[in-house]
Structure 1
């Protein structure tokens, strides 16, 4: 059974989410603050986390930052903060998705399914990528740069794999969003800007002058190897 950790300091919301998730055969854990969430992640190994940013002790972004030091666990941010800077910061630190309150339960459940699907993609279609600066093994999810391992999240792997299916070919923004995040995300281009920028920092020798992860302005992205 898939385990979902719900982290929010609003008991009524936690209860509502728990009821809806359990009705769809998820196992649900909950935490009302960041430190309890980190402990639960370490001890109980959930499959996906639904995380509020406005926690009473640690800020949700700090929780994401600490989780990403050791884990590629899918994290869906659930927050009343509508400012785009908050979204970018959360995604930049490694969140896989961002849902603003108030939200529709069907939408949130769809995003939980999408996050789990990204983590459990069974048959990579892209061949291994080896460049002078980094290597990517999609079958074993192993990335290295200059011989040192690189930690990539499930969403980062999915972005790279989608681009690596046809190296050098343009993948449109809409196609990339639809493939990685699912139908209904085709206009959320800020996701791509954040994730590609993060991947460039991890893979490119000069992130400000990318050689491999290239942008066709207004159109899409390509992986040049």
Structure 2
């Protein structure tokens, strides 16, 4: 079978079914059967597809990588899809497709107000999903700005002496929350060396034994997203698997 053949039946794959080539799509869905179905179809159509089971898993993934579009189930465990969509919309230019069994006009209006670009109702039609992704990719490509280059972290990014304000290379400032302040103080003090999760957690809470480490990942992701939204620059915090975090160039 050649690369242009349909791996489902051996027939030549029509060009229209490769319309998602090069598109990176992350699907956040806690139903494993539906998730597998969507991933299989998206990959078949040429997308680089990845599955995630919760909002927390999405936030952790965004610490390491970026995607073009998130397909987001509303009924997620923990933080629901509406809250995630609202956060992603504030954070940057990721496309958002909301997927839900709630098909009323009120639910649709709420989803679009929270930040969804496309609102699809279950049971899912995979052809409609693919068409929505293609349309959204065209809109994002036309609207996406050119980002300024990332500068050296230690020379360009500055933390105020009291730790409550972060200053970007372009001298833009961002007021920090108490937890964000604690994380950045440790990272700046480390001067380019990794800081363990345990040390970061001890800095931001009086009860580290009762603090879910996943909350740290969410905190760092949201901090980076706030910085990106406020300055147009990426705050160069790198997550190190099994170690912690590093502020680096």
Alignment TM-score, normalising by the size of structure 1: 0.53
1:103 aligns with 2:98: no
Tell me the residue number matched to 1:51: 72
**Distance of aligned partners of 1:21 and 1:85 in 2 relative to their CA distance in 1, 3 Å threshold:** same
1:16 aligns with 2:37: yes
Greater mean alpha carbon deviation, residues 82-91 or residues 104-113? 82-91
Displacement of 1:140 in angstroms is 6.4
Deviations 1:25-79 (A, max 9, x none): 1111111111111222342201111100000111101101111222121100011
Tell me the residue number matched to 1:82: 103
Alignment TM-score, normalising by the size of structure 2: 0.48
Higher Cα Rg, which structure: 2
Tell me the residue number matched to 2:137: 116
Measured in 2, the distance between the counterparts of 1:74 and 1:113 equals 11
Deviations 1:73-130 (A, max 9, x none): 11000111112222111111111010000121111110011111110128xxxxxxxx
SS, match of residue 91 in structure 2? coil
Tell me the residue number matched to 1:66: 87
Post-superposition, which runs of at least 4 consecutive aligned residues in structure 1 deviate over 4 A? 138-141
SS, match of residue 142 in structure 2? coil
SS, match of residue 121 in structure 1? helix
Q: Does the Cα contact within 8 Å between 1:9 and 1:33 map onto a contact in 2? A: yes
- Aligned pair partner of 1:37 in 58, 71, 81: 58
Measured in 1, the distance between the counterparts of 2:26 and 2:145 equals 28
Tell me the residue number matched to 1:175: none
Structure with larger RCO (C-alpha < 8 A, sep 6+): 2
Displacement of 1:139 in angstroms is 7.5
Q: Number of residue pairs matched?
A: 127
SS, match of residue 81 in structure 1? coil
Tell me the residue number matched to 2:115: 94
- Bigger helix fraction: 2
Deviations 1:143-185 (A, max 9, x none): xxxxx9xxxxxxxxxxxxxxxxxxxxxxxxxxxxxxxxxxxxx
Tell me the residue number matched to 1:26: 47
Measured in 1, the distance between the counterparts of 2:76 and 2:145 equals 37
SS, match of residue 21 in structure 1? helix
SS, match of residue 49 in structure 1? strand
Structure 2: gaps (5+ residues): 1-21, 148-171, 173-249
What CA RMSD, in Å, does the superposition of the two structures yield over aligned residues? 2.1
